[in-house]
Structure 1
Amino acid sequence: MPLRFTLRQLEYFVAAGKAGSIAAASQRINVSSPSISTAIAQLEAQFGIQLFVRQHAQGLALTPGGRRFFHEAKLLLDAAEALHDLAGDIADQARGPINVGCFVTLAPLVMTALRRDFELSHPEARVGQVEGSQEELLDMLRRAEIDLAITYDLELPREVIFEPLARLPPCVMLAPGHRFAGRAGVSLEELAGEPMVLLDLPLSREYFLSLFQTAGLRPRIAERTRDLAVLRSLVASGYGYALINVRARNSMASDGSPLELLRLEGDFRPMTIGLATMRADRITRIVAAFQAHCRERISAAGIPGMAEL
Structure 2
Amino acid sequence: MPYETCGLAEGLEQLAAVAEFGQITLAAQFLGVPQPTLSRSLARLSRDLGTPLLQRDGRGIRLTRHGELLAASGRRALDELLAGVRAVRAEADPDTGTVILGFLHSLGPLVIPALLRGFRSDHPDVAVRLVQDSAGSLLDRIPSGAVDLVLAAPVPVDQRWESRPLAEQPLVLLVPMGHVLVGRGPVRLSQLAGQDLITLASGYGVRTITDRLLRESGVPLRYAFESQEMTTAAGLVAAGLGIAILPPGNEVPGTRQLNLSDAGASRVLSLVWSADRLLSPPVAELRDHLFAHAPEMLRP
User: TM-score surpassing 0.5?
Assistant: yes
RMSD over equivalenced CA pairs, Å? 3.9
Which residue of the partner structure matches residue 58 of structure 2?
none
Look up the match of 1:198: 199
| 2:251 alignment counterpart | 251
C-alpha separation in 1, matches of 2:10 and 2:105: 27
| 8 A contact 1:197–1:222 mirrored in 2 | yes
* Matching of residues 1-309 of structure 1 within 5 Å: 8-10=6-8, 15-16=13-14, 20-22=16-18, 24=20, 33-36=28-31, 38=33, 50=45, 54-56=53-55, 57-58=62-63, 61=67, 78=84, 81-88=87-94, 93=95, 95-202=96-203, 204-218=206-220, 221-244=223-246, 246-248=247-249, 251-252=251-252, 257-268=253-264, 270-299=266-295, 301-303=296-298, 308=300
CA contact (8 A) 1:10 1:77 kept: no
Partner secondary structure for residue 115 of structure 1:
helix
- Residues 220 and 153 of structure 1, relative CA distance in 2, 3 Å threshold: closer
- What is the CA distance between 1:274 and its match in structure 2? 1.1
CA distance in 2 between counterparts of 1:21 and 1:284 reads: 27
> Unaligned regions of 5+ residues in structure 2, if any?
56-61
Look up the match of 1:3. none
**Which SS does the other structure have where 1:231 is aligned?**
helix
Equivalent-residue separation in structure 2 for 1:226 and 1:79 (angstroms) = 33
Q: Report the Cα distance in structure 2 between the residues aligned to 1:231 and 1:178, rounded to whole angstroms.
A: 16
1:272–1:295 Cα change, 3 Å: same
One-letter code aligned to 1:158: Q
* Letter of the structure 2 residue corresponding to residue 235 of structure 1: V
Q: Which amino acid aligns with 2:167?
A: A
CA distance in 1, matches of 2:14, 2:145: 14
How much has 1:239 moved relative to structure 2?
1.5
Q: Which AA in structure 2 matches 1:138?
A: L
Q: Distance in 2 between matches of 1:80 and 1:266?
A: 45
Runs of 4+ residues deviating >6 angstroms = 39-46, 74-77
Identity of aligned residues (%): 21
Structure 1: gaps of 5 or more residues:
1-5
Distance, in Å, in 1 between the alignment partners of 2:214 and 2:83 is: 49
